[in-house]
Amino acid sequence: MEPPISFEADAVRNEKGKILSAIKPIEPNEVLNLTVRGQYGDGVMPDGEKVPGYRSEPNVPGNATTETYAALKLMIDNWRWADVPFYLRTGKRLPARYTEIAIQFKRAPFIMFRQTPVEHLEPNQLVLRIQPNEGIALSFSAKIPGQAVRIGDVDMDFCNADYFDTTPTTGYETLLYDCMNGDASLFQRGDNAEAAWSVVAPILDVWGALPPRNFPNYRGGSWGPEEANELLERDGRRWRRL
Q: What is the pLDDT of residues 163-213, one digit of tens each?
A: 887 776 777 888 999 999 999 999 999 999 999 999 999 999 999 999 998
116 pLDDT higher than 70: no
Please answer whether residues 89 and 230 qualify as being in contact, where contact means their C-beta atoms are separated by less than 8 angstroms.
no
What average pLDDT score do residues 110-133 get?
79
Output the CA–CA distances (angstroms, integers) from residue 138 to 26, 37, 68, 209, 242, in the order listed: 32, 30, 31, 42, 14
Say which DSSP state 29 is in: G
Digit-coded pLDDT (tens) for 64-99: 999 999 999 999 999 999 999 999 999 999 999 999
The answer, yes or no, to whether residue 32 has pLDDT greater than 80, is: yes
The overall longest dimension of the chain from CA atoms, in Å, is: 65
* pLDDT value at residue 48: 95
Q: Please report the pLDDT score of residue 144 as a whole number.
A: 87
pLDDT on residue 117: 64
Please indicate whether residue 136 or residue 113 has the higher confidence score (pLDDT): 136
Among residues 125, 193, 183, 194, which one has the least CA distance to residue 8? 183
Peptide bond into 4 cis (omega under 30): no
Cα–Cα distance, 124 to 150 (Å, whole number): 17
The three-class DSSP label of residue 179 is: helix
Q: For residues 186 and 168, give the distance between their C-alpha atoms in angstroms, rounded to a whole number.
A: 19
Instruction: Assess contact for 71 and 231: CB atoms under 8 A.
Output: yes
